[in-house]
Chains A and B, each alone.
Chain A
């Protein structure tokens, strides 16, 4: 990426972010079981690595929602597709190794290898044919390319159709939600050739690598951190400068931007596809750490959670998205882990496993109502930035017009 001179100086937060991310990665590495003191268990390293991937998709969400104003409720579909694409290779290659190890006697024909792999992978869902979509599964480069191509193309086609018909606002949200629902229902079917509800599993074992999970988890953490850093840089680059201004313009008043002569649809389509690709890459890094991918991952609710992370972290700020995703998913892990101490109210004991969801839900409401800028609003407070107090009667006909108190300030 060619950085214009002054890019970093204009965006001081990028440097800070990269520094913190590097320190974090270094810290985790030094405390990991594989390379350091072992203070952080491998399972927690994996959790952290996965969290970094979630931060990456949160950046994508922030780009599309926080900066461009399109509330997509379907980005987890791309995340999941990315995971499926890499998962196909992981499963196929691992199974092929097993098959080659177990076949004896005559040297196997390619057909026999294929059949044996198919029986192993699909026997569990009752078929033994390798579906056509697995044609490239044997080749890592091909599947890596598909990680980007398949979600990218889907986003391109879907986005082109949707933006061309000027579907906007809430309608677009529902439409993207329908898309992810359709995709997850499709994948739930066995006929889709991706093992239906079972999904692809055992993805944490990387074929050809003999390293144990202690080391692998740290490597994936590095990979995820690197991807997050690049993603952050890219997002910062896109949102700065004129392109970024147009994006924000579309968010604030689409019609005006259109009248200024910008092709709003093209901008939207570009951002939609770009964020889909970022989401897919995040997914491709996430699922080998999670170990299993299944259509349930793409249920509409996942994408809504994504929006909530970004909202809690603070929209329109890249670090806000990262902080929100990391904060909510880690706190969530802690509460559902069963290790949060019970809260004894005297008449009732609050068990957090039962009540965590309630707390989470209510905190969305509170954040939306009282802290629209999310956690990133705290940074503003530290920096002394303060939005004007709006209130009183509006002084003009539009929603955006000055309001009484604002005018008095």
Chain B
């Protein structure tokens, strides 16, 4: 910025361009038109502020040729100021600097070195003002994209003066979608700004029951109220009369009176203390010894003594407060003066709000479903290793992490996000499958008789793996980006929406549920797994190799964890701690659901997800509390159903 401020003399002098002693500049700068205006306001344009730039932009907008292009370029950060003479150019980055275009004439003005040009970067507030100024001209632009931009700007900061140009442009609109949007915006602007109350009420009624956020955003300002105290009866467009002791406490009422200077402020403890302190004489205040004043009662007494001596102003007593409150009336007053408009708006809003409530519940339900599917995905691998085999695998979280890092590495190698995800999913499965099998062969198979010790051994593996990830990938979070077709959200209306990536995770969870069921119920492997789980020695005598089955089962559970890792990495972060964030929740999901049953895990995930979102809804400002109470609930739940929601019965349920 120092560069562009180096020429303040030029900016001030340019009001009279003849003073300019640079022959080149004098030659180029005309007396009027865009160039002159730019010269005049060089400083403001170089360092604009939303509060002050309005008139300048208006002036530029009226400058005629080149003005809209200049404003557009300015908002797009395509304008630069040349350090040597302070002039503005439309700029385009080229290899070793910028190509310049004169904004007024559109003529090529050569190139400039990088150091010679300071790019203008108006902030988004200023960009909003610029866009607003461009609305009128863009509304009828032949380019639909420009018209769209204009409408975006209108939706953001529509103003009364836009109403006429907007109305005028509707007739000529050829694009049906844009036309519909224009009509909607026209209605919204009408209900806010039209001079005729009847037109406003008609517009309000048109939107009755509409769930759009923009409608509520337009209606709510109409029904804003201010709370005021009146010496007589309330004046203005009264929304509600407040009687002290009922709709408003006496204390609040008095505070309101103080705020409006209708009553003196009450004496606070700090004031009392300060007053006593100020009147301390010879270790005495109002006849009371300093040492005595360590109770509120003694201090009150001392203050009363000072009051009686006339040294301090009298503080309002309770009786006076009551009397003053009784003398006044209190009311909420609409800022909008027209009562018909406010009551129409109130009616419309009431109708909308009931619907919004229902929709919010639906949205919350979707969120809960999504969270449940994430927990399910994280826990399904555990449901196999822990639920079916009874092996506590504390390194399960690290398998999830491993999957996520696989996704990251694949994206480094394959830049196309869609392909890389398609490669990453099976690869993650393969890698974690291999890791799981290795772990089972090297460690876990020696510990099948000692389940608590697998917990320790796998915990050791868990912290070792976590540190190894840190050593390889560093401690920074790594990017794992979803393909473009998973960007954005499925929007039902302005209240209910859910991101595609969450839907994808939900679908993935369903697929895994299906795969799991298929393998366990319909394949030879599943049959053998169930046999080995129930009675290894009997299964062995039937010709099943329990070692092999255990190995494969464990590999399957780990492999699913890897795939879950890719999915979780897509919607959250990829760090070495990704998995350990989910491990405790995953165990709880399995335990709450009931060990050894995939439907139990599903129910567990559903319960935990719903519960957490429910508590979050009750206490929106503290997400931590939701997690705390959810865990407490689970602890309590297990007391009553120690075997989970869906408990196995009979011999299979043995410890």
Interface residues of A (CB under 8 A from B): 71, 105-112, 158, 161-162, 164-171, 173-175, 177-179, 181-182, 185-186, 188-189, 191, 300, 304, 307-308, 311, 354-365, 368-369, 372, 399
Contacts and interface: CB of A to CB of B under 8 A. Distances in A.
Contact of B625 (A112, A164, A191, A372): A191
Nearest to B280: A105
Interface centre among B299, B451, B628 (most CB of A within 10 A): B628
Interface stretch (B44-52, B146-154, B288-296, B567-575): B288-296
Given A189-B628, A364-B456, A357 B463 contact: yes
A165 B639 contact: yes
A164 B638 CA distance: 11
B457 A365 contact: yes
Given A360-B463, A399-B449, 5 more contacts: A71-B455, A182-B632, A362-B460, A362-B461, A369-B457
A249 B631 CA distance: 32
Contacts of A188: 624
B347 interface: no
A356 B468 CA distance: 10
B98 interface: no
Contacts of B452: 71, 169-170, 173
Given A169-B655, A358-B468, A186 B628 contact: yes
A158 B631 CA distance: 14
Contact of B294 (A108, A191, A361): A108
A363 B460 contact: yes
17 contacts: A71-B455, A106-B280, A161-B635, A170-B390, A185-B624, A185-B628, A189-B624, A189-B625, A300-B584, A304-B456, A307-B456, A355-B467, A356-B467, A361-B460, A361-B467, A368-B453, A372-B453
The main secondary structure of chain B at its interface with chain A is helix
Nearest to B386: A170
B588 A109 contact: no
Nearest to B624: A189
B607 interface: no
Contacts of A399: 449
Contact of A304 (B450, B459, B470): B459
Given A109-B296, A358-B467, A189 B622 contact: yes
Nearest to B643: A171
Interface string B436-466: 0000000100110111110111011111111
B447 A369 contact: yes
B296 A175 contact: no
Contacts of A106: 273, 276-277, 280, 285, 290, 293-294, 299
A358 B635 CA distance: 33
Interface of B: 273, 276-277, 280, 285, 290-291, 293-296, 299, 390, 392, 394, 443, 446-447, 449-453, 455-457, 459-468, 470-471, 584, 587-588, 591, 622, 624-625, 627-628, 631-632, 634-636, 638-640, 642, 655
Contacts of B451: 169-170
Nearest to A111: B296
B482 to A, nearest CB: 30
Given A107-B294, A175-B635, A182-B632, A361 B463 contact: yes
A311 B390 CA distance: 21
A182 B443 contact: no
Nearest to B462: A361
B460 A365 contact: yes
Contacts, number: 150
Contact of B291 (A107, A181, A369): A107
A107 B290 contact: yes
B464 A171 contact: no
A71 B456 CA distance: 10
B453 A166 contact: no
What 9 A-B pairs have minimum CB-CB distances, sorted nearest first?
A: A364-B460, A361-B464, A357-B467, A182-B631, A107-B294, A368-B457, A361-B463, A361-B460, A185-B628
Given A109-B296, A369-B443, A369-B447, A182 B461 contact: no
A277 to B, nearest CB: 21
B299 A109 contact: yes
Nearest to A304: B459
A185 B624 CA distance: 7
Contact of A109 (B294, B465, B638): B294
Nearest to A360: B463
B457 A171 contact: no
Contact of B642 (A71, A171, A304, A372): A171
A182 B635 contact: yes
A300 B466 CA distance: 16
Contacts of A158: 635
Nearest to A177: B584
A109 B295 contact: yes
Contacts of B632: 182
A188 B626 CA distance: 12
A130 B209 CA distance: 48
Given A71-B455, A107-B293, A368 B460 contact: yes
B456 A167 contact: no
B468 A165 contact: no
Contacts of A357: 463-464, 466-467
A191 B635 contact: no
Among A106, A171, A300, max chain B CB count under 10 A is at A106
